[in-house]
């Protein structure tokens, strides 16, 4: 019996992988599917980390990418050799002031990281709908990205993330931010309403006024987490207050930010825009389990989705997270080498793709005729207020164990 089941799983897995190879990764029926050319990617890196920036090809094959690098001499070569990957390289120096106290943020490369999205827009102009912006070790899960963006209009000025700093932590439900226009806020979980700040739905997009509590109209934000990534609409990036020159002037005016993400967030804020939290996590009683951008609680199974499934460790919560996750911060420095971190990016992207197809196949019991054998578990946790907050017993136990193996 156990053997039969294993065999079935193995053949299903093989089918899932070949199925994936033959079809686009987006399931049929998602109405507003975005094409590769609707996206651009903006990344900043340094010479020593170039292999990481290039490792993100794992998820962005076919998508135009803008990469800012620290070494000017390398730029012509990089542009010539890697144009075939639709990559454009540009130079931006490290902080040049010998006194770190006068830098704009903590690390010498942070200013470059912060300028990357604005330089990318200067380069691409209005030729895209959405810009994916992250560190050189941020992976986006494109199916999750597609699902998320089908709810938003790129013509509006939108900055999206649900991994926002508050004081020195992230993600935090205390962060000042908006929820999407039309979001039903009447079912907000206690975890959110207990923070003393309840974000509001902003129409048509998030301004400072919408993001700040009515009692604190001139509040300040800390911003989104760079490693978790952010998604910007073309409607945001083409604002005159966010042109390359305007962003440069804004950032030159800032000092002692915690990182490039802080500089970017502060300049969006100065231009009048707050972050929109997609609000997905707020449909659940345990919001942190359902964060879309670099979900730290789900890290243990998100780092190897297909393995979690084939080992039988993927309960309803795990499946829900895999189906909706938007990004994953690889944390290049936690690997023995950047090259190994880059290899992991390819592995994770494949594993994620296989997991998505496997779950689709598992849900489609009718065409397999094996309802009782593999698909016998209750499908649950899919959307709905308060749903999906508990995995099965096995997953819960394993999660504890997984705590120590965080990357």
Nearest to 163 by CA among 44, 28, 299, 33: 299
Q: Indicate which single residue of 18, 32, 184, 334 sits in contact with ligand NAG (rule: CB under 6 A).
A: 184
Read off the tokens for 195: 């923070």
**Count residues contacting ligand NAG (CB under 6 A)?**
7
CA dist 328 and 303 (Å) reads: 8
71 touches ligand NAG by CB under 6 A? yes
Burial of 288 (0-12, 13-18, 19+ CB in 10 A): middle
Three-state SS for 140? Answer: strand
CB of residue 154 to ligand NAG, shortest distance in Å: 25
What is the rounded CA–CA span in Å between residue 270 and residue 373? 57
Residue 62 Rama label (left phi>0; alpha psi -120 to 50; beta) = left
Q: Are 121 and 237 contacting, i.e. CB atoms less than 8 angstroms apart?
A: yes
Binding string to ligand NAG for residues 125 to 164, with x set by CB under 6 A, is what?
----------------------------------------
Alpha helices in 57-109 (DSSP H): 57-60, 75-82
Residue 155 CB coordination number (10 Å): 14
CB of 144 to ligand NAG, least distance (A): 24
Min CB(73)–ligand NAG separation in Å: 4
Helix orientation angle between 142-149 and 316-324, rounded to the nearest 10 degrees: 80
User: Measured between alpha carbons, how far is 145 from 141 in angstroms, rounded to an integer?
Assistant: 6
- Which one of 170-178, 184-192, 228-236, 250-258 is the stretch in contact with ligand NAG (CB under 6 A)? 184-192
Quick one: which segment of 59-67, 70-78, 98-106, 243-251 binds ligand NAG (CB under 6 A)?
70-78
Work out whether 73 is an interface residue with ligand NAG (CB under 6 A). yes
Check binding of 186 to ligand NAG (CB under 6 A). yes
Q: How near is the Cβ of 186 to ligand NAG at its closest, in Å? A: 4
Residue closer to ligand NAG, measured from CB, 71 or 107: 71
Single out the residue of 47, 126, 193, 334 in contact with ligand NAG (rule: CB under 6 A). 47
Instruction: Kindly compute the dihedral angle of the four CA atoms of residues 203, 206, 209, 212, in this order, to the nearest 10 degrees.
Output: 120
CB of 46 to ligand NAG, least distance (A): 9
Q: Which of 286, 284, 251 is nearest to 269 (CA)?
A: 251
At closest approach, how far in Å is the CB of 185 from ligand NAG?
8
Q: Least distance from C-beta 184 to ligand NAG, angstroms?
A: 4
Rounded Cα distance, 105 and 12, in Å: 49
The helix/strand/coil state of 256 is coil
User: 33 vs 74, which CB is nearer to ligand NAG?
Assistant: 74
Judged by CB, which is closer to ligand NAG: 93, or 169?
93
Kindly tell me the sign of the dihedral angle through the C-alpha atoms of 94, 98, 104, 108. positive
Binding of residue 190 to ligand NAG (CB under 6 A): no
* Residue closer to ligand NAG (CB basis): 93 or 100: 93
In the DSSP assignment, the letter for residue 255 is -
Q: Of 47 and 252, which has the nearer Cβ to ligand NAG?
A: 47
Site membership for ligand NAG, residue 187 (CB under 6 A): yes
Q: Applying CB under 6 A, which part among 60-68, 69-77, 108-116, 148-156 lies near ligand NAG?
A: 69-77
Find the binder of ligand NAG among 33, 36, 38, 74 (CB under 6 A): 74
Which residues sit at the interface with ligand NAG, rule CB under 6 A? 47, 71, 73-74, 184, 186-187
């Amino acid at each position: 019996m156990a053997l039969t089941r294993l065999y079935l799983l193995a053949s299903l897995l093989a089918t899932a992988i070949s199925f994936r190879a033959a079809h686009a990764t987006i399931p049929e029926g998602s109405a507003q599917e975005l094409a590769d050319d609707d996206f651009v990617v903006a990344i900043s890196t340094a010479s020593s980390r170039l292999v990481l920036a290039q490792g993100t090809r794992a998820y962005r094959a076919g998508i135009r990418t803008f990469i800012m690098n620290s070494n000017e001499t390398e730029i012509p070569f990089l542009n010539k050799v890697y144009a075939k990957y639709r990559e454009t390289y540009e130079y931006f120096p490290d902080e040049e002031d010998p006194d770190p106290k006068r830098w704009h943020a903590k690390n010498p490369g942070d200013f470059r990281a912060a300028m990357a999205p604005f330089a990318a827009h200067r380069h691409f102009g209005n030729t895209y709908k959405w810009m994916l912006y992250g560190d050189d070790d941020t992976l986006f899960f494109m199916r999750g990205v597609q699902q998320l963006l089908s709810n938003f209009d790129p013509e509006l000025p939108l900055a999206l993330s649900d991994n926002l700093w508050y004081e020195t932590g992230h993600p935090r439900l205390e962060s000042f931010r908006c929820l999407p226009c039309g979001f039903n806020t009447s079912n907000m979980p206690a975890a959110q309403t207990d923070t003393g700040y309840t974000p509001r739905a902003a129409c048509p997009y998030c301004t400072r006024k919408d993001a700040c509590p009515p009692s604190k109209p001139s509040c300040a934000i800390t911003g989104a987490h760079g490693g978790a990534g952010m998604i910007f609409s073309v409607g945001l990036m083409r604002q005159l207050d966010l042109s390359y020159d305007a962003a440069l002037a804004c950032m030159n005016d800032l000092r002692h930010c915690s990182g490039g993400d802080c500089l970017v967030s502060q300049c969006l804020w100065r231009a009048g825009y707050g972050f929109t939290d997609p609000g997905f996590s707020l449909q659940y009683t345990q919001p942190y389990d359902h964060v879309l951008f670099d979900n730290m609680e789900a890290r243990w199974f998100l780092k190897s989705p297909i393995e979690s499934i084939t080992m039988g460790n993927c309960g309803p919560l795990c499946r829900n997270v895999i189906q909706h996750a938007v990004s994953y911060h690889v944390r290049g420095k936690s690997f023995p080498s950047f090259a190994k971190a880059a290899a992991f990016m390819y592995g994770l992207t494949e594993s994620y793709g296989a997991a998505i197809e496997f779950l689709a196949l598992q849900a489609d019991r009718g065409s397999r005729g094996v309802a009782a054998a593999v698909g016998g578990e209750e499908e649950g946790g899919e959307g709905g207020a308060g749903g999906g907050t508990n995995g099965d017993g096995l997953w819960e136990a394993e999660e504890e164990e997984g705590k120590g193996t965080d990357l």
